[in-house]
């Protein structure tokens, strides 16, 4: 248990070990009563904007199956369905893809018959709709395991560690098809960054099966190199009972706390382009909400949209497979 391992192996185990992983077994819920809150659990406004995006994309692509991936406690899907008119609800088939048994059962309680199918992987869901789907996900990619790399002034190394007690910088051993922007850079000073090779693996698994439709990716993150501006230790952190933990505390309670980092949208956009999708829009969450769900914001809505907080820290990326 305490052997030295890559950070990515540690994070995979801490979040997804079948018996003891945070998401697979230990998570109680998402939101105010859980370890972390998400935009979706704080305000229905995001659901309203996604419903408007779905209507528009369904009209323009002719696709009538919608899939939410990693829907947490089901709050976001509930506000999306509440915001779609009865006619759209009748026209659209609704699928959820969720890898956590705990959260799948919360989604079933919250959504019941409003959802026509639950799947544990996106390829299974795509098989059930002949590859024609409108896909969306909120704060999914930030939950994938990451490699941590460090620039020592001369070259990039991968960080291995013994639960944070000792660290070892080892030679990189990565798939060159990942083409990480970070690894082509030469920072002036010592710098830590995260690489999202698991996100690329995930995209490679299902993109070839996706025949037609649109995808909306919402997450905190930024383009590279802006993402690491004034963040020499990178963006990795953990959440336990709404408290943010950094450094060695990330290793303190494996399986009992969420671990996450910002999404490098430069890499994600490059991979999506390389796999033949066409980018429709890329904007801050604030701009996305103003465009698709303009309203006089309540206190919770204001938090979701505010320029110095969630609204600017989050990005909304919409791509199409036509
Ligand atoms: C940070 S939570 C976000 C929850 C929800 N989207 C929200 O905004 O409240 C990440 C979610 O993604 C799920 N998840 C992680 N990896 C997944 C995968 N490969 N396929 C499907 N769901 C996944 C987790 O179980 C959890 O529901």
Residues of the chain with pLDDT under 50: 1, 306-308
Distances (CA, A) of 39 to 151, 182, 219, 310: 33, 28, 10, 8
Q: Which two tokens stand for residue 240?
A: 């336990």
Q: Is residue 185 domain-resident?
A: no
Q: What is the pLDDT of residue 298?
A: 63
Closest residue to atom 24 of ligand 1, CA basis: 70
Alpha helices, H only, the chain: 7-16, 39-42, 45-61, 75-83, 86-91, 101-111, 122-128, 197-206, 265-274, 285-292, 299-305, 310-313
Say how far residue 166 (Cα) sits from the centre of its chain: 29
Distances (CA, A) of 181 to 8, 45, 90, 107, 124: 18, 33, 44, 37, 31
Q: Is residue 2 domain-resident?
A: no
Closest residue to atom 23 of ligand 1, CA basis: 70
Per-residue DSSP letter, 131:
T
CATH code where residue 110 lies: 3.40.50.12710
Ligand 1 centre to CA of 135 (Å) is 14
Q: Which atom of ligand 1 is nearest to the CA of 75?
A: 9
Ligand 1 centre to CA of 75 (Å) is 12
CA atoms of 245 and 296, how far apart (whole Å): 34
Q: Is residue 32 domain-resident?
A: yes
Q: What is the pLDDT of residue 41?
A: 85
Closest residue to atom 4 of ligand 1, CA basis: 72
Ligand 1 centre to CA of 179 (Å) is 25
Q: Which atom of ligand 1 is nearest to the CA of 260?
A: 1
CA atoms of 135 and 97, how far apart (whole Å): 10
Q: Is residue 66 domain-resident?
A: yes
Closest residue to atom 11 of ligand 1, CA basis: 70
Q: Is residue 290 domain-resident?
A: yes
73: Cβ contacts below 8 Å, ≥ 6 apart:
29, 30, 31, 34, 41, 103, 106, 107, 110
How many CB atoms lie under 10 A from the CB of residue 87? 9
Q: What is the dihedral of CA 88, 91, 95, 96, to 10 degrees?
A: 0
Q: Is residue 93 domain-resident?
A: yes
Q: Is residue 228 domain-resident?
A: no
Identify the CA nearest to 133 among candidates 184, 65, 81. Answer: 65
Q: Which residues line ligand 1 (CB under 6 A)?
A: 23, 30, 38, 40-41, 69-72, 76, 97-100, 103, 138-140, 143
Closest residue to atom 1 of ligand 1, CA basis: 139
* SS3 of residue 19 by DSSP: coil
Expressed as residue numbers, the domain containing 28 is 7-146+197-223+238-249+257-321
Q: Which atom of ligand 1 is nearest to the CA of 27?
A: 25
Per-residue DSSP letter, 180:
-
Q: Which two tokens stand for residue 303?
A: 């938090």
Q: Is residue 285 domain-resident?
A: yes
Q: What is the pLDDT of residue 163?
A: 85
CA-angle at 20, arms to 16 and 22, nearest 5°? 55
Structural domain total, the chain: 1
Q: What is the pLDDT of residue 2?
A: 60
Per-residue DSSP letter, 7:
H
Choose which residue among 45, 68, 70, 304 to substitute to test ligand 1 binding: the one with the highest number of ligand atoms within 8 A of its C-beta.
70
């Amino acid at each position: 248990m305490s052997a030295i391992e890559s950070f990515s192996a540690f994070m995979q185990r801490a979040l997804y070990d079948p018996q003891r992983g945070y998401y697979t077994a230990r998570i109680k819920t998402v939101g105010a009563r859980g370890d972390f809150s998400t935009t979706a659990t704080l305000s229905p406004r995001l659901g309203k904007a996604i419903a408007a995006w779905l209507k528009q994309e369904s009209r323009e692509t002719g696709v009538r199956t919608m899939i939410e991936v990693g829907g947490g406690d089901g709050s976001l899907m509930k506000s999306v369905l509440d915001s779609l008119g009865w006619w759209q609800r009748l026209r659209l088939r609704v699928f959820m893809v969720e890898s956590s048994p705990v959260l799948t059962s919360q989604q079933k309680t919250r959504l019941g018959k409003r959802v026509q199918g639950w799947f544990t992987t996106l390829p299974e869901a795509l098989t059930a709709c002949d590859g024609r789907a409108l896909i969306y996900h909120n704060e999914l990619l930030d939950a994938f395991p990451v490699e941590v790399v460090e620039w020592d002034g001369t070259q990039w190394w991968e960080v291995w560690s013994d639960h944070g007690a000792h660290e070892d910088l080892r030679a990189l051993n990565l798939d060159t098809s990942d083409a990480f922007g970070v690894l082509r850079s030469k920072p002036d000073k010592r710098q830590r960054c995260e690489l999202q090779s698991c996100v690329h693996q995930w995209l490679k698994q299902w993109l070839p099966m996706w025949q037609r439709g649109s995808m909306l990716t919402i997450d905190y993150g930024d383009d590279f190199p802006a993402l690491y501006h004034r963040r020499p230790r990178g963006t990795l952190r953990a959440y336990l009972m709404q408290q943010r933990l950094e450094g060695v505390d990330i290793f303190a309670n494996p399986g009992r706390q969420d671990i996450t980092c910002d999404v490098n949208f430069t890499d994600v956009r490059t991979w999506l382009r390389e796999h033949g999708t066409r980018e429709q829009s890329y904007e801050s969450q604030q701009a996305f909400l103003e465009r698709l769900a303009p309203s006089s914001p309540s206190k919770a809505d204001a938090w979701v949209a505010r320029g110095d907080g969630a609204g600017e820290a989050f990005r909304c990326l919409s791509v199409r497979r036509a």
